[in-house]
Amino acid sequence: MTLSIRPTALVGATPLPSEAAAIRFEAVSKTFAARGRGAAAVRALSGIDLAVPSGSVLGVIGRSGAGKSTLIRLVNGLDRPTSGRVVVDGTEVSSLDERGLRDVRRRVGMVFQHFNLLSSRTAYDNVALPLEIAGLGRDEIRRRVDPLLDLVGLADKRGRYPVELSGGQKQRVGIARALATRPTVLLSDEATSALDPETTRSILDLLASINRDLGLTILLITHEMSVIRAVAREVAVIEDGRIVEHGDVFDVFTRPRHPTTRSFLSTETGHALPPYLRERLRPEPVPGGAVALRILFRGPHATDPILSELSRELGLDLNILSGSVDEIAGRPFGTLVVSLPNEPATLDAALAFLAARALDTEVIGHVA
């Protein structure tokens, strides 16, 4: 990693308080005018308030059509809000004209789902494009592009055309290109959605290291929780143009509140029930059966021997149905599904015992 690619705007500028937001949406709404006769106007975003702290990685997750693409396009002015303000690095983007926006866009890099590389340019020339647009000389361009190709691990592919590169390599060129103008903010529009899982992993690692080593603020949108989990520090869940849940990744992953968040998490570790268990689970009590209880171990308690204490203190026979211990945002997170006798007194005592240890519990059904 070379120091020369540290974003200049962070150096020498007035020091920002660490809590300062790099991107701020204030009461932002966006309505697309009706197209053609009989068509209705489409409300893409309503009343969005969201701040991306400087140097952070915020992931916005939503289904297609939820408004996440519109949201990210407001940051560099590819779209304009119908009402509200979008502030990037202290500049109110939403009030700028096209000329003013060009200046902001050089401080905001963007990575695309389909890479959007010019087929007529080599890897090197694609990375050079934003610098040519900014009017830099050949030597200065070379001084910037070479280290960037190094950074993304493509120094040996500099003369290759996009058609000769794999999807992952193309996205690496896309990332190097987005970094060329030394932006302070990086926007990632479904950057890994067209890639296979292994390549996705390596691209996400690259984004994480860019955030860590260059201090870039990253706003990424995705429809996959695994992407959020791999790089984001904060997550916002968007549905029907509204942010329905927003918080620290660990908190949202371990205590999802909104149904949409839960459904996004349903395939993630700790939230998905194994099929053999799902088949056995009944909503009503089964005669002579047991209650299935899910216990979430968050943070410091994730590795405590709570089950054996529970069993000893209450004289309970616990049966473990499924379980996992995992790490989310660098903190341990465990899930256990246990069954215990279906007696109200026992159940209440067990729930009280677990609540006293700040563990989240949920009765998920009954098993025979």
Partner 1 sequence: MSPEILRLVLDATLDTLWMVAVAASLATLLGLPLGIFLATSGRGELFAAPALNRVLGFLVNATRSTPFIILVVAIIPFTRLLVGTSIGTKAAIVPLTIAAMPFIARLVEGSIREVDQGLVEAARAMGASPLQIVAKVLVPEALPAIVLSLTLAIVSLLGFSAMVGAVGGGGLGDLGIRYGYQRFMPDVMAVVVVVLIVLVQLVQSTGDHLSRRLNKRLRHG
Round to whole Å and give the CA distance between 121 and 188: 22
CB-based contact 75:86 (threshold 8 Å) = yes
Q: Is 108 an interacting residue with respect to partner 1 (CB under 8 A)?
A: yes
Interactions with partner 1, residue window 72-91 (CB under 8 A):
76, 78
List Cα–Cα distances, 114 to 7, 111, 159, 193, 219, in angstroms.
25, 9, 21, 9, 17
Number of other residues whose CB lies within 10 A of the CB of residue 254? 23
18 binds partner 1 (CB under 8 A): no
138 binds partner 1 (CB under 8 A): no
Q: How far is the CB of 93 from partner 1 (least distance, A)?
A: 12
Nearest to 294 by CA among 281, 284, 279, 285: 281
Region of residue 47 (left: phi > 0; alpha: psi -120 to 50; beta: else): left
CB of 28 to partner 1, least distance (A): 19
Kindly state whether residue 114 participates in binding partner 1, applying the rule CB under 8 A. Answer: yes
Among 26, 112, 153, 351, interactor with partner 1 by CB under 8 A? 112
- Looking at 56-64, 108-116, 252-260, 350-358, which segment touches partner 1 (CB under 8 A)? 108-116
End-to-end CA distance of the chain: 58
Q: Out of 3, 18, 119, 330, point to the residue binding partner 1 (CB under 8 A).
A: 119
**In which residue are the tokens 């009017």 written?**
135
Measure the CA angle with vertex 167, ends 215 and 189; round to 5°.
Answer: 50
Shortest gap between Cβ of 225 and partner 1 (angstroms)? Answer: 26
The residue range among 109-117, 211-219, 220-228, 279-287 that interacts with partner 1, by the rule CB under 8 A, is 109-117
Task: Tell me the closest approach of the beta carbon of residue 4 to partner 1, in angstroms.
Answer: 20
Write out the two tokens for 117.
């590389």
Q: How far is the CB of 92 from partner 1 (least distance, A)?
A: 17
Tell whether residue 39 is a contact of partner 1 (CB under 8 A). Answer: no
Residue 186 or 306 having the CB closest to partner 1: 186
Task: Determine the interface stretch with partner 1 among 114-122, 199-207, 246-254, 315-323 (rule: CB under 8 A).
Answer: 114-122
Q: Answer yes or no: are the C-beta atoms of 206 and 172 closer than 8 Å.
A: yes
In sequence order, the 6+-apart residues with CB closer than 8 A to the CB of 30 are 43, 44, 45, 67, 70, 74, 79, 80, 81, 82, 241
Of the residues 16, 20, 129, 194, which one makes contact with partner 1 according to CB under 8 A: 129
Q: For residues 196-235, which are near partner 1 according to CB under 8 A?
A: none
Tally the residues of the chain. 368
Work out how close the CB of 110 gets to partner 1 at its nearest, in angstroms, rounded to a whole number: 4
Strand pairing report for 290-298 and 360-367: antiparallel
Q: Does the protein bind partner 1 through residue 101 (CB under 8 A)?
A: yes
Q: Which of residues 334-363 bind partner 1 (CB under 8 A)?
A: none
Asked if 261 and 268 touch (Cβ cutoff 8 Å), the reply is no
Determine, following the binding rule CB under 8 A, whether residue 103 of this chain makes contact with partner 1: yes
Q: How far is the CB of 135 from partner 1 (least distance, A)?
A: 10
Return residues touching partner 1 (CB under 8 A).
76, 78, 101-106, 108, 110, 112, 114, 116, 118-121, 129-130, 132-134, 161-164, 177, 181, 187
